[in-house]
Chains A and B, each alone.
Chain A
């Protein structure tokens, strides 16, 4: 809760003024019946006459106008404070997520993070607004009406006091039973959403395997479960209103009984009884509001908890302790010393074991190995997308942990296996590499990545909006755009993680050619499936099951490394048979 103080502080004045203004409304509400009883008792029975009544009437109208001003003002401040609070919280949450390491990100499903930034914040916002408008009003009305009731006639007021606790207990029980059911309902809703989302993402698979009926059955099950859990929760909640109404009714009956007796005996005026009946209603309505607030706050608590979870996450990869924050990557030398790594710290099995590797500045290194052998994991340690569990990774003879993340990642460019482009023009996407790139630079590196050709074939060229429909950017084109984007960074170390799997061999050869010519000083690491992609590298590293099983030039490996030779022959078989 202390965390939230930080967000409330800037709006403190609103948080205070708002509820105060609401109190004006409350006071007015409480005063009105009393003024009415004045009209009855003094004006009519007390003989003060028409002018008195009119005076009272005017007072009432003025009171009502004050109430309106109070209510409007209260609403204004409530909205201002809650929107501001929520806005700041939302921005901070986004910021926190931006600082997440890859491991942190992996802990959450993307959908879950999105929901926390949207729906959960909304819940908190709504609750704040409601609290501000009700928090003082409901108890205020309650207390005010009770005070007035007591002031008017303590005896009758006691009647009300007797009923209240019983009502409170009833509401408490209702909520206790309802809360876990609401939690369950949320889960079922999540499940329904997941089913729907998966179906939409996988619609091609569904259609091609003709599984529409199957999917509909899945959906029906989730749908029914949601309905059942909703009904189960709601069926409890709907007891609330009848119970409260009953309480109100019983109280009214009691008040009329006791009050009536007193009137008959002459110790109570009808005006007071009238006012009292009004107060009974007010008190019980305010009790209803209070319980409504409490009910909702239990849902909001869940949202707040989820937001907290993210805010409290320990970022496990920071450059706080970096010793050389100003250092930049100058030469491009990479070294792995006894590196061990695994993604899930609870797993026994290492993803990378005992990696020892030296890559000299300007070298071209190929990494090859079977599926799941650890190639991507290896290279991701270099720009510290993940940290090694044991051993050291060094760039330019300095431990990567001693660089500032910004400098490290500016100097090390990596094209990930899964390619993501963002909404915007092609130019805007490419400029992620260098926000100040000139058109010539953009074109130069697009050409190098063999992307310029197809970009200019689009009617709008570099200004083509990606993702606005109409443009079919195929897998290979996407890959080339991602390569161009990284090239624009002019990194000292360039890592390509299987970034040409969707590109045909001729184009790929041209890309490699342009690398050879234009990236002479850059250290290049290429992960690929095709031997042809890595055959002319200065050094080839062969990985198997997380260990380096071969390192050397193509010729050396053909002699010494069985795994390498296998891969080679599996691709070059034709050469052997045809000639």
Chain B
């Protein structure tokens, strides 16, 4: 009995298949790490007939010529090398043609009416010439490949770097609305297709064109009648190629979507595997996956069939043309004094001629995949980066950490009439006014979704405010260079994010030039030192991805150490100790006090013990400040804060 209804099946296809990887968006919505399907591509490109395109990722390109131009620009930086490559291609193609052409006189000589010695001499000479041509051809082939690979790798390196650098500059809004899996797949699948094309296709197209032109010329030179006969078969080839290509592209799109659905479902299930087990959801998951996988198989067969038969169809159509050529050629030999040597080489030409045509048509899949991939990559590169700093933006620094040319600030933060929403029409913060004097501890409390994290997102300009202003020491933050602003604000976020690397490296991320002693000192402030010492290699222990070998609380302590080591004058703690037990938190408190001394601190916490000693507590509800004051003042008010607080005390 099937557990999944038709509706669910449609929903699965729609939900997971809309992009290459899963599409989840919205700040705060679940984040799935999605590495995407890994490296594809075949190496060692042989031009022979072969089943390619089995799993080329990508789809139809939209604006081919613009994309091509852009891609060429990347290669174009190695202009001299490209010219050399083309010279080699020319050389190898000409050698190829020459090698087959030379057979004609050689064979003719053998059947001619000369003496045996003459024939022998001519034979030897012919062979020597052939040898020479071959050597040139092989050399050119080798050089052309070697240089081309270097060129295409360089181009790939450049594109990758630019893509990565661009991603660093994109505003958080982009990151929040695009899944990692999707972005990653542009680095892997899309660039793989591009790489494939750069490596082989370009050269093959060029050599194919040259060979074609050369062969046709030689054919005409040899026997124009036969040449016309052979060329008459070209339209047949193109028609077949075009027809098959169209069909395969159509089914291709379907295959890509199904592939995306399977990938997306796998990502989600694997990442959420533990929840699946806890709810005994395994059977349902298996059924749903079976459905998606079967769907993929169906679409794959259709798509790959049309792509896959291009080889046999084109190849054998050219066999037919070979047959016709041989027949007509034979007749000509009998009737029109066409020499046998000529027939021999003509049949070779006929073979040589159809090979580039069929190879070119088989390349079409690769080309389209590469163009589509390149388009997706350029799409990201063309995204609007974070707005650039205005020309008169200044740099700031703290008293403790003076920097040349930067204005010293004390750390007074003022929010004036700040109104903001992530999505237009849905306001999250309404007319917020907060003044934090230097060194003060300001706490934000309120129910979930009230806007607390949002405020911190605005102070360091992860998002830009439309209405209202934020000042640091009287300077509007929009007038401060973003980099400078952010390096003077240390954040400890709710989600712990650690990098693979040693514990030491992770802590040092807060200030790259910190010494080892400073690292230990920061760890001590965060009460992390003791558990770090107990790790197998202490500070040099390598953390698995995102610190999987530590508990949630321990990860938070590392986060805090990271912030401790930076000397920023403004500190933001967003639920920084939510997974740390209160006893440890108390031990940290002294360290935290040291952490917060001389820094303006913004704290967001649900645990009221954390906020109790703040200089100012601000209670947010639905994006508005409904109460503010010190802990004692707010209790006395008997309002929301009192409610929140006594919710805890009530059961005393």
Q: Which residues of B contact A274 (CB under 8 A)?
A: 107, 340, 344, 347
Contact flags B549-573 to A (C-beta < 8 A → 1, else 0): 0011110010000100010000000
- The reply to whether B277 and A385 contact each other, CB–CB distance below 8 Å, is yes
Q: Which residues of A contact B26 (CB under 8 A)?
A: 467-473
Q: Which residues of A contact B106 (CB under 8 A)?
A: 256, 260
- The reply to whether A219 and B164 contact each other, CB–CB distance below 8 Å, is yes
Partner of A65, one of B30, B168, B320, B460: B320
Q: Which residues of A contact B120 (CB under 8 A)?
A: 261, 264
- The reply to whether B293 and A270 contact each other, CB–CB distance below 8 Å, is no
Measured between alpha carbons, how far is A422 from B340 in the docked complex, in Å?
73
Contact flags A471-496 to B (C-beta < 8 A → 1, else 0): 11111111000000100010000000
- The reply to whether B313 and A68 contact each other, CB–CB distance below 8 Å, is yes
The answer to the question of A201 belonging to the interface, with a C-beta cut-off of 8 Å to chain B, is yes
The answer to the question of A117 belonging to the interface, with a C-beta cut-off of 8 Å to chain B, is yes
Measured between alpha carbons, how far is A237 from B45 in the docked complex, in Å?
9
- The reply to whether B43 and A94 contact each other, CB–CB distance below 8 Å, is no
The answer to the question of B402 belonging to the interface, with a C-beta cut-off of 8 Å to chain A, is no
Nearest CB in chain A: distance from B113 CB, A: 12
Query: Can you report 20 residue pairs joining A to B where beta carbons are below 8 Å apart?
Result: A63-B319, A68-B319, A98-B276, A111-B33, A126-B54, A129-B304, A133-B51, A198-B499, A209-B490, A231-B153, A245-B137, A245-B141, A257-B123, A264-B119, A295-B44, A472-B449, A476-B448, A504-B647, A529-B579, A573-B609
Measured between alpha carbons, how far is A505 from B581 in the docked complex, in Å?
16
Contact flags A32-62 to B (C-beta < 8 A → 1, else 0): 1001100110011100011001101110110
Given known contacts A117-B266, A204-B462, A414-B278, is B330 in contact with A43 (CB within 8 Å)?
Answer: yes
Nearest CB in chain B: distance from A142 CB, A: 13
Measured between alpha carbons, how far is A293 from B519 in the docked complex, in Å?
53
The answer to the question of B64 belonging to the interface, with a C-beta cut-off of 8 Å to chain A, is no
Measured between alpha carbons, how far is A198 from B35 in the docked complex, in Å?
10
Partner of A182, one of B43, B131, B460, B566: B43
Q: Which residues of B contact A130 (CB under 8 A)?
A: 50-51, 54
- The reply to whether B168 and A215 contact each other, CB–CB distance below 8 Å, is yes
Partner of A471, one of B15, B29, B489, B609: B29
Q: Which residues of B contact A529 (CB under 8 A)?
A: 578-582, 607
The answer to the question of B384 belonging to the interface, with a C-beta cut-off of 8 Å to chain A, is no
Nearest CB in chain A: distance from B110 CB, A: 4
- The reply to whether A505 and B343 contact each other, CB–CB distance below 8 Å, is no
Measured between alpha carbons, how far is A6 from B276 in the docked complex, in Å?
28
Contact flags B305-321 to A (C-beta < 8 A → 1, else 0): 10011011101110110
Partner of A573, one of B3, B341, B612: B612
- The reply to whether B29 and A466 contact each other, CB–CB distance below 8 Å, is yes
Q: Which residues of B contact A399 (CB under 8 A)?
A: none
Q: Which residues of A contact B566 (CB under 8 A)?
A: 209
The answer to the question of A506 belonging to the interface, with a C-beta cut-off of 8 Å to chain B, is yes
Q: Which of B169-177, B215-223, B363-371, B593-601 lies on the face that meets chain A?
A: B169-177
Q: Which residues of B contact A87 (CB under 8 A)?
A: 293-294, 296-297
Nearest CB in chain A: distance from B170 CB, A: 9
Measured between alpha carbons, how far is A45 from B340 in the docked complex, in Å?
9
Given known contacts A129-B54, A505-B606, is B160 in contact with A223 (CB within 8 Å)?
Answer: yes
Contact flags B444-455 to A (C-beta < 8 A → 1, else 0): 011111000100
Q: Which residues of A contact B500 (CB under 8 A)?
A: 194, 198
Partner of A530, one of B24, B161, B187, B582: B582
Partner of B180, one of A114, A201, A288, A471: A201
- The reply to whether B509 and A205 contact each other, CB–CB distance below 8 Å, is yes
Q: Which of B65-73, B283-291, B411-419 lies on the face that meets chain A?
A: B283-291
- The reply to whether B330 and A40 contact each other, CB–CB distance below 8 Å, is yes
Contact flags B15-35 to A (C-beta < 8 A → 1, else 0): 110000011111111110111
Nearest CB in chain A: distance from B269 CB, A: 8
Given known contacts A198-B545, A424-B11, A469-B24, is B323 in contact with A61 (CB within 8 Å)?
Answer: yes
- The reply to whether A240 and B44 contact each other, CB–CB distance below 8 Å, is yes
- The reply to whether B263 and A76 contact each other, CB–CB distance below 8 Å, is no
Measured between alpha carbons, how far is A201 from B176 in the docked complex, in Å?
10
Contact flags B256-276 to A (C-beta < 8 A → 1, else 0): 000000111011111111111
Measured between alpha carbons, how far is A74 from B313 in the docked complex, in Å?
12
- The reply to whether B347 and A242 contact each other, CB–CB distance below 8 Å, is no
Q: Which residues of A contact B38 (CB under 8 A)?
A: 115, 118-119, 189-190, 193
Chain B, Cβ-Cβ closest to A344: B549
The answer to the question of A253 belonging to the interface, with a C-beta cut-off of 8 Å to chain B, is yes
Partner of A423, one of B22, B487, B632: B22
The answer to the question of A352 belonging to the interface, with a C-beta cut-off of 8 Å to chain B, is no
The answer to the question of B247 belonging to the interface, with a C-beta cut-off of 8 Å to chain A, is no
The answer to the question of A13 belonging to the interface, with a C-beta cut-off of 8 Å to chain B, is no
- The reply to whether A257 and B127 contact each other, CB–CB distance below 8 Å, is yes
Partner of A227, one of B99, B153, B281, B647: B153
- The reply to whether B324 and A503 contact each other, CB–CB distance below 8 Å, is no
Nearest CB in chain B: distance from A58 CB, A: 8
Q: Which residues of A contact B474 (CB under 8 A)?
A: none
Residue among A63, A84, A210, A385 having the largest count of chain B Cβ atoms under 10 Å: A210
Given known contacts A235-B149, A423-B15, A530-B607, is B172 in contact with A203 (CB within 8 Å)?
Answer: yes
Q: Give the interface size class of chain A.
A: 35 or more
Contact flags A493-514 to B (C-beta < 8 A → 1, else 0): 0000010011111111100000
Q: Which residues of B contact A220 (CB under 8 A)?
A: 161
Contact flags A339-370 to B (C-beta < 8 A → 1, else 0): 00000000000000000000000000000111
Measured between alpha carbons, how far is A71 from B309 in the docked complex, in Å?
7
Partner of B583, one of A246, A416, A570: A570
The answer to the question of B403 belonging to the interface, with a C-beta cut-off of 8 Å to chain A, is no
The answer to the question of B648 belonging to the interface, with a C-beta cut-off of 8 Å to chain A, is yes
The answer to the question of B46 belonging to the interface, with a C-beta cut-off of 8 Å to chain A, is yes
Partner of B449, one of A57, A125, A454: A454
Partner of A99, one of B25, B282, B290: B282
Number of chain B residues whose Cβ lies closer than 8 Å to a Cβ of chain A:
197
The answer to the question of B183 belonging to the interface, with a C-beta cut-off of 8 Å to chain A, is yes
Given known contacts A72-B309, A95-B286, A245-B141, is B161 in contact with A223 (CB within 8 Å)?
Answer: yes
The answer to the question of B91 belonging to the interface, with a C-beta cut-off of 8 Å to chain A, is no
Given known contacts A249-B138, A257-B123, is B449 in contact with A238 (CB within 8 Å)?
Answer: no
Residue among B169, B562, B580 having the largest count of chain A Cβ atoms under 10 Å: B580
Nearest CB in chain B: distance from A5 CB, A: 20
Residue among B446, B493, B551 having the largest count of chain A Cβ atoms under 10 Å: B551
Nearest CB in chain B: distance from A289 CB, A: 6
Measured between alpha carbons, how far is A60 from B326 in the docked complex, in Å?
9
Measured between alpha carbons, how far is A239 from B146 in the docked complex, in Å?
9
Partner of A79, one of B301, B317, B582: B301
Measured between alpha carbons, how far is A215 from B499 in the docked complex, in Å?
11
The answer to the question of A100 belonging to the interface, with a C-beta cut-off of 8 Å to chain B, is yes
- The reply to whether A209 and B423 contact each other, CB–CB distance below 8 Å, is no
- The reply to whether A469 and B29 contact each other, CB–CB distance below 8 Å, is yes
- The reply to whether A270 and B510 contact each other, CB–CB distance below 8 Å, is no
Chain B, Cβ-Cβ closest to A271: B340
Measured between alpha carbons, how far is A83 from B293 in the docked complex, in Å?
10
Partner of A75, one of B282, B311, B344, B585: B311
The answer to the question of B631 belonging to the interface, with a C-beta cut-off of 8 Å to chain A, is yes
The answer to the question of B638 belonging to the interface, with a C-beta cut-off of 8 Å to chain A, is no
The answer to the question of B10 belonging to the interface, with a C-beta cut-off of 8 Å to chain A, is no
The answer to the question of A532 belonging to the interface, with a C-beta cut-off of 8 Å to chain B, is yes
Contact flags B45-60 to A (C-beta < 8 A → 1, else 0): 0101011001100000
Nearest CB in chain B: distance from A382 CB, A: 11
Contact flags A441-472 to B (C-beta < 8 A → 1, else 0): 00000000000001000000000001111111
The answer to the question of A406 belonging to the interface, with a C-beta cut-off of 8 Å to chain B, is yes
- The reply to whether A231 and B51 contact each other, CB–CB distance below 8 Å, is no
Given known contacts A64-B319, A94-B289, A105-B273, is B330 in contact with A238 (CB within 8 Å)?
Answer: no
Partner of B42, one of A270, A289, A296, A435: A296
- The reply to whether B267 and A114 contact each other, CB–CB distance below 8 Å, is yes
Q: Which residues of A contact B270 (CB under 8 A)?
A: 97, 110, 113-114, 117
Nearest CB in chain B: distance from A21 CB, A: 10
The answer to the question of B497 belonging to the interface, with a C-beta cut-off of 8 Å to chain A, is yes
